[in-house]
Amino acid sequence: MKPYLLEEREQGCLLFTINRPEKRNAINFDVMDGLSEAINRTKKPGVKALIITGAGEDAFSSGGDLSIFHQLKTEEEAYGMLSKMSNILYRLLTLPKPTIALINGTAVGGGCELAAACDFRIAKKGQKAGFIQGSLAITTGWGGGTILFEKLLAGNALKILMESRLFSVEELADFGFIDHIYDGDREEICDVFLRKILSLETEVLTAYKNMLIRKWTESGLQQRIEEEVRKCAVLWEKDVHHELVAKFLERKS
């Protein structure tokens, strides 16, 4: 089964689906490559927006695939993986077209970082999401923490990161992380959410997005994300992180 799906839909939308439901749509290197492909295809003139979702109804994404990434032991090994994904998320963040995280199920850890890099987040009623990296003795490492401080009030971002737990999407909407909560067919809801946005010319959408991208460029966002990645890589190497991940994987097996 292919680990991701790409589909061009009506209204000029490109739909990217993480297609690993048996792994709760965990992100591995193949999914990373798929995201890079989706970003490249979104730059085509006929594409007006990129939607990212997960296969099935249980999980948007459970974050990095720990069954694979737990094999990375040293700071250097971790940095290679972290920097690869952080570069992809920075490209997603600064894509000059609207992007939407269609959160169909639980979003955990790196799954929340992926959602944070999108312009809008639409979440299914009753689901949960959270940046739980702290419970594994690391920080966010794909740039998601730095991005969160760009998008939320500082106190709300700190609470979400420091409590390192799952929040209901209703709580996250109060924090400003979730833009819309849906109950029903996710693709229909997404179409309704985007209808007015996609009625505008692509050049207009790009011009507005570029206003935001200029702000991020001038504030040195990319360098700040790099510092986040470096710190996470240092913490990744520590014994306490590997011990906690091993215990987590044991509980899941």
Q: What are the b/e assignments for 115-133, b being 16+ CB within 10 Å?
A: bbbbbbbbbbeebbbbbbb
Residue 152 has pLDDT above 80, yes or no: yes
What total of structural domains would you count in the chain?
1
| pTM (2 d.p.) | 0.97
User: Which CATH number does the domain housing residue 20 bear?
Assistant: 3.90.226.10
Q: Which long-range contacts (CB under 8 A, 24 or more apart) does 153-162 make?
A: 160/130, 160/131, 161/131, 161/134, 162/134
In percent, how much of the chain has pLDDT > 70?
A: 100
Tell me whether residue 157 is in a domain: yes
Mean pLDDT score, 228-240: 98
Q: Which are the contacts of 154, defined by CB distance < 8 A and separation ≥ 6?
A: none
Tell me whether residue 245 is in a domain: no
3-state DSSP call for residue 130? Answer: strand
Residue 253 has pLDDT above 70, yes or no: no
CA distance 162 to 35: 28
The reported pLDDT for the residue numbered 11 is 84
Tell me whether residue 241 is in a domain: no
Give the structural domain span for 27: 4-184
Residue 31 has pLDDT above 70, yes or no: yes
Tell me whether residue 109 is in a domain: yes
Mean pLDDT score, 152-173: 98
How high does pLDDT run on average in the chain?
96
Q: Would you place residue 111 in the very low, low, confident or very high pLDDT band (cuts 50, 70, 90)?
A: very high
Tell me whether residue 173 is in a domain: yes
Strand order in the sheet with 99-103: 4-8, 13-18, 49-54, 99-103, 120-124, 180-182
Tell me whether residue 117 is in a domain: yes
